[in-house]
Amino acid sequence: SVVREPIANHLDSSYFGEISIGEPPQKFLVLFDTGSANLWVPSTDCKSPACFNHAKFQPSASATFTPRGQSYNVSYGSGSVTIVLGSDTLRIQSITVREQELGLSQEEPTQPFYFAAFDGILGMAFPSLAVGGTATALAGMLEQNQLPEPVFSFYFSRQPTYDYGGELILGGVDPQLFQGDITWAPVTQKLYWQVALEEVAIGQSVTGWCGQGCQAIVDTGTFLLTVPQEYIESILEALGAQETSYGYAVDCSDTQSMPQLTFGIGGARLALPPAAYVLNSNGYCTLAIEATYLPSQDGQPLWILGNVFLKEYYTVFDMANNRVGFALSA
């Protein structure tokens, strides 16, 4: 039964890893997010309930912290976080970035940040997207020669567990994590990792939706495959899905026979099998898609390739040549 727009889907899981900030190091779990560009962690000044549920940075306990004072709002799909800028030493394993600008959260929306498994966010999009014009962590790594190669890559496991969801490789590519060749697509707008989407097919039939061009943002901070809302009905019909308050429901026994979705990017056809785009939660199956209502900045239909897509395709982000590479995951 149709109850409401199923936006519950987006509150799904996220993937995160450990960083440390300050001297002596204070540890945090952060979402490595290619869809935003700010680095922020909760601070001891934050009085929001979400902050009490997470690790908090204590500036006075760090010998290398420098306050910057300005306050900004960083907005995400589910609300915005108020941060105050400062700088300190950022460490990610053997990588050290001195005087890295970062945000210390003062206020966070309780829903959903209280329930997030990560403490803060490390944005990996382009510096031009960073609120307050702050230097991004990746720019700091490049400037301080912390990366052997000006690239980073993500592998997301098809069978993730809490302890192992995938890997982020800073400064390189791991041939063990993919098969076949890497297909490259140039970044079309240096704000996010946005590429041209040449075509979308459902099964053998090309939809023609991108005849005038589409854009796709490669976003590790978005869980689902996000579809322009004008195409949602056609996709539901083609896949035999019903809209419910739990999402776009399908019969689990149909999954094997459902068509694959194919995305034309960089001259290649990247297929997404039903096993990748159908979520089975205790025998209740839904499509791992959600709708977006806004076009890309140049007005073309905007898709978001979230974790659901990135589990199928090992993805390389080339900062020197401003291009994104896709290869079938191992």
260 Cβ contact partners less than 8 Å away, ≥ 6 residues apart: 203, 271, 272, 273, 274
Assess 79 for contact with another protein (CB under 8 A). yes
Length of the chain: 330
**What is the x/- site pattern for another protein, positions 135-164, by CB under 8 A?**
------------xxx------xx--xxxxx
Q: Which of 12, 33, 119, 298 is catalytic?
A: 33
**What is the x/- site pattern for another protein, positions 230-269, by CB under 8 A?**
----------------------------------------
Supply 214's token pair. Answer: 């589409």
Residues binding another protein: what is the number (CB under 8 A)? 73
Our answer to whether residue 318 is catalytic in this structure is no
Assess 217 for contact with another protein (CB under 8 A). yes
How many Å apart are CA 286 and CA 247, to the nearest integer?
A: 6
Q: Say how far residue 52 (Cα) sits from the centre of its chain.
A: 25
Please identify, using beta-carbon distances, which residue of 22 and 165 lies nearer to another protein.
165
Please pick, from the candidates 27, 98, 115, 143, the single residue that binds another protein as defined by CB under 8 A.
115
Assess 12 for contact with another protein (CB under 8 A). yes
Assess 283 for contact with another protein (CB under 8 A). no
Our answer to whether residue 33 is catalytic in this structure is yes
Q: Contact region for another protein (CB under 8 A) — 43-51, 108-116, 204-212, 251-259?
A: 108-116
Assess 304 for contact with another protein (CB under 8 A). yes
Please identify, using beta-carbon distances, which residue of 34 and 268 lies nearer to another protein.
34
What's the min distance (Å) between Cβ of 71 and another protein? 9
141 and 122 Cβ atoms separated by less than 8 Å: no
How many Å apart are CA 62 and CA 58, to the nearest integer?
A: 7
Please pick, from the candidates 187, 224, 232, 249, the single residue that binds another protein as defined by CB under 8 A.
224
Q: Which residues pair with 324 in a beta bridge?
A: 185, 317
Please pick, from the candidates 87, 226, 286, 300, the single residue that binds another protein as defined by CB under 8 A.
226
What's the min distance (Å) between Cβ of 179 and another protein? 19
Give buried/exposed letters for 82-113 (b at 16+ CB in 10 A, else e).
bbbbbbbbbbbeebbbeebbbbbbbbbbeebb
Going from the C-alpha of 289 to that of each of 52, 278, 306, the distances in angstroms are 32, 9, 9
How many Å apart are CA 139 and CA 223, to the nearest integer?
A: 25
Known catalytic residues are: 33, 219
